[in-house]
Chain A
Amino acid sequence: MPTVYEIFKMIFGLVASVFILYFLITYAGGYAGTQLSAQRISITRDFLTASENVYLSGVPFIFDGFGRQDFEYSLDASGTQPQIEFGSGQLPVRVPLFFSPGKELYIERKELDLGWWKFGFAMATPEMDIIFNVQDPEGMDAAVGIASLFPESQEPEISFTLCDGAELEGPYGQFDFAGSRSPVIRNIRPALPCSASLQKGSILVTISSSCSSSMQAGICIRPSDGTAFISGSQKEYIYKDSLDLAALVLGGDRKDLFGNYIAETLYTYKNRVVGSELRLASVVLEGKARLLEGRDADCDYSRLVSSLRELRAIVSGKDYYLSRHTGYTDANLLLMAEQERLEALGCGL
């Protein structure tokens, strides 16, 4: 027969153990969760810092931090300030940055040369094989233009392959594919629709005059009217330069953690960020032209200023990139010509 003291010991021990155990488990769980979030924040912040450094210094960098912990992350460009979302939080993106999620990313600074303005950006590319199926030879330039914005990298491996029917040619590195002796330029004849079995992680880029939203996989580019399509999406994407296409190809037909097409997010982000920078650039150059006006009789900036205003009016429209008007391209060409003329006179801005 147990004594009262023994019964007390049992009940007290049980209550105290449950209490301590519950407290410890709750705290340990919370602590582990906090540590996990902290690690994700730290990895994402390191990625952003690396991208900022690459953007500012121009020195490429291989970032493998996302391989340390398995979590999804994606770009959210819906607000005024673009952000990287990673489930348990978000961090602001402070430089123009295009990326597609992957464990290892090759970050490189590239420039979109508009002739009168160079738009600099950082591009973070995971391991990928881009398979071009050039059915329309008119799109050869587009293929080379896309490849020129991707990096030459073996680790992570970024390669380019040509597909003609069931046959694959390659893979090629970026230097070989985008160079003057590019295999795309050598193969002038139209390719047959790609029927080769493609490896996981490869992105099929079809260049054809018969592209439509009902295509099977990857990205399809219709050079005849400057339109691109993402497999599975009903939308049409009007492209004006190779960065529009590179953004679509980088995203491919993958979806992000919100269920949006990465390619569409990158395309929209690209046009907003380019529009924003061009708007500001036009304001600064117009202001500079006004300050310097009259100091040198040879320097007449009036045509430059009117072209800058014209471009600003176009890119100030929220969805300027969704319409097919030629004003954007024309204004850029005029500005390039005017800038060249002024530079020849020693009046360059």
Chain B
Amino acid sequence: MNGQANIMEYVLMTFFVIVVIGAIIFLLTFFQVLQFGGEQQKAVFTRQLFIAKYFLASPLMARENSVFDDAKLTALSESNGCRELEAVLGSGWAVEVTRLDSNTAGACTAENYPDCGRWSYCGQNIRNQSIVLPVNVYGASDGLAGIGIMKVVIYTK
């Protein structure tokens, strides 16, 4: 009986040690997953900000730093600009610029320019998980600058 009790003690002790090691491993993995999730969220936000800043700084869309040129925006949205931009910025994003002081909110094309007020790149009708920034939009046809908003969304898998 005494021998059996001793063996049981050993088995229990080993089981306890394994459980402790398992718990440590579980906690370490859990913290890593948590950290990874947090970093992914941060990476999405950083990428959104980068795309916003890229759009505002690039002479392909902006007249000067932080001021969009509506004719350039229209020309870019009319062309196959999304594919070209994806070669630089990667895929899985969309941008929408809306001029707030425009009489019409329709999407800009070569036919309705300048009577329009919305430009979309690589996606339409952006709603969820986007960052929204106030921007300036310069009207190349009338030389007047107006205000607008830019939405940037990142599509996560």
On A, residues with C-beta under 8 Å from B are 3-5, 8-9, 12, 16, 20, 23-24, 27, 31, 34, 49, 52, 56, 80-81, 92, 94-95, 117-118, 276-277, 279-281, 283-288, 290-292, 295
Contacts and interface: CB of A to CB of B under 8 A. Distances in A.
Interface of B: 3, 6-7, 10, 14, 17-18, 21, 25, 28, 32, 46, 50, 53-54, 57, 59-61, 69, 71-72, 74-76, 78-81, 84-85, 87-90, 110, 113-114, 140-141
Contacts of B74: 287-288, 291
A3 B7 CA distance: 13
A12 B141 contact: no
A94 B89 contact: yes
B71 A292 contact: yes
Contact of A291 (B25, B54, B141): B141
A20 B25 contact: no
A189 to B, nearest CB: 42
Contacts of A20: 17-18, 21
A24 B17 CA distance: 12
B133 to A, nearest CB: 14
Given A81-B90, A286-B75, 15 more contacts: A5-B6, A8-B10, A56-B53, A56-B54, A80-B87, A276-B84, A277-B60, A283-B79, A283-B80, A284-B60, A287-B79, A287-B110, A288-B140, A291-B140, A292-B71
Contact of A287 (B14, B46, B75): B75
27 contacts: A8-B7, A12-B14, A16-B14, A20-B17, A20-B21, A23-B21, A27-B25, A31-B28, A80-B87, A92-B90, A94-B90, A95-B54, A118-B59, A280-B81, A280-B84, A283-B81, A284-B60, A284-B61, A284-B75, A284-B76, A284-B81, A288-B71, A288-B72, A288-B75, A290-B75, A291-B71, A292-B71
